[in-house]
Structure 1
Amino acid sequence: MNTYKLTLLALLAALAVVGRSVFAFLPNVQPVTSLIIICGLVLGPLAAVILAVLTTFLSNMLLGMGVWTIWQVTSWVLIGLVSGWIGKYPGRLPIYVYAVICGYFYGFIISLTTYSIAGKFWSYYLAGLPFDTYHAIGNAVFIFVLYPIISHFFKKYATNRFQLQNTNH
């Protein structure tokens, strides 16, 4: 991983942390999942995993660290890995549908926190479905707004990388 790609990941992590803090007043609406999806689709699974871990720990330093942090990392890392895998194949699932599915998947994984502590899962999960819906809709909106902008810059990264490789030979 080169310095330019690490710089892009640091900028994305900063954007995700600020976005999560700015949207903290809206329950479960934040750009983190969408940024991880975009990162995985364009830069690959390793970049998405790094972004997921960085974002989770940095934003939880501001918003509060707890046992849920483990489950947040788990869910966002899995989303990043799958996004990176999907990004390698043509004919992938439409990005908006995938973003909505990821909102519900994230809520399911986070609900496991309660099960691991209190032994209750279904009541907590069902009560959280409206919040998972906010997350899912928020993901689709953030993908709609952010994907064209970020993918444009990532295409510049791919072009710059290709040009650098050609000048070195």
Structure 2
Amino acid sequence: MKKQWINYIIFMILIPLTILIGVTIFEDRSYVFISFVIVLLTLIPFFLSFENKDTNIRRMVILAVMVALSVVGRFIFSAIPGFKPVTAIVILTAISFGAEAGFLVGALTALLSNIYFGQGPWTPFQMFSWGIIGLIAGIPFIRQQLKKNRLTLIFFGLFSGVIFSLLMDIWTVISIDGTFNIKRYLTVVSLSIPFMFTYAVSNVVFLLLTIKPIGNKLTRIKTKYGI
């Protein structure tokens, strides 16, 4: 329980605070530094959850594979705006390995895939947006429901598309003049509804297509290696 509270403080307070400092004090000039600080903060809960050496190595290898799948998936579907498998892979990771792993895969996917798509002040926002989706999916109660109930999985896929879009719209508003304006935000949100809809639907499509093959494979790996 103590570790969980530490994790939530890092994910919900320290990382958003880091992004806020990057936007205000550094004025987005040090976005690469801020991105790596987020990675370091993300790794703290992950390492706190380590139990034994062999299990840790296997877990890290699997998560590295999930990050690679997510990055490649984003690249393959780059020609279709808003239609990406990233969120589905982040959710599947969280369902199988918990909130810390979900946040880690989401954050690293944004950072590494932007080597191709372009790094910028938006990167920390993407890292947090995909990461927080993984964190929510990995919360024990939600995690169990996503495993057992296909309807809950569909709803969460839609919810994730909306949350990602709303969080990224915050960056869109701030990027205009460095300040946040609620009226401008509502305008940006209304304009981004088509993207939000496409992304939410794509989450559901990829979750339904991958939950059985990838989910079952991850379950077998966990059982076989005692992860």
For normalisation by structure 2, the TM-score amounts to 0.67
Aligned partner of 2:168 in structure 1 is 110
Task: Tell me, yes or no, if structure 1 residue 160 matches structure 2 residue 224.
Answer: yes
- Identify the residue that residue 124 of structure 1 maps to in structure 2: 188
* Residue 143 of structure 2 corresponds to residue 87 of structure 1: yes
Shift of 1:158: 2.1
Match of 2:118 in 1: 64
Q: Tell me how far apart the structure 2 counterparts of residues 53 and 75 of structure 1 sit (CA, whole Å).
A: 8
Residue by residue over 1:19-67, the C-alpha shift from the partner in whole angstroms, topping out at 9 and shown as x without a partner, is 1011111111111111111111111011111111211111011101111
Residue 121 of structure 1 aligns to a residue whose secondary structure is helix
Other structure's SS at 2:212 match: helix
Runs of 4+ more than 3 Å apart: 88-93
Please point out which of 11, 14, 17 is paired with 2:65: 11
Residue 161 of structure 1 deviates from its aligned partner by: 2.9
Q: Which residue in 2 is equivalent to 1:137?
A: 201
One-letter amino acid matched to 2:116: L
Letter in 2 for 1:65: Q
Q: Distance in 2 between matches of 1:16 and 1:158?
A: 20
> Which residue matches 2:85?
31
Alpha-carbon distance, 1:76 to partner: 1.1
Q: Deviations over 1:75-123 (max 9, x none)?
A: 1111111100021568767111101110011000000002222243122
1:76 corresponds to 2:130: yes
Q: 1:98 aligns with which of 156, 166, 181?
A: 156
Residue 20 of structure 1 is matched in structure 2 by: 74
- Asked if 1:150 corresponds to 2:214, the answer is yes
Partner of 2:41: none
8 Å CA contact 2:108, 2:127 repeated in 1: no
**Structure 2 spans left out of the alignment, 5+ residues:** 1-49, 51-55
Counterpart AA for 2:88: S
Return the alpha-carbon distance in structure 2 between the equivalents of residues 131 and 102 of structure 1: 13
TM-score by length of 1: 0.89
Aligned to 2:80, what secondary structure does the other structure show?
A: coil
Deviates more, 1:151-160 or 1:22-31: 151-160
Query: CA separation in 2, counterparts of 1:136 and 1:114?
Result: 19
* Matched residue, 1:167: none
- Percent identical residues: 28
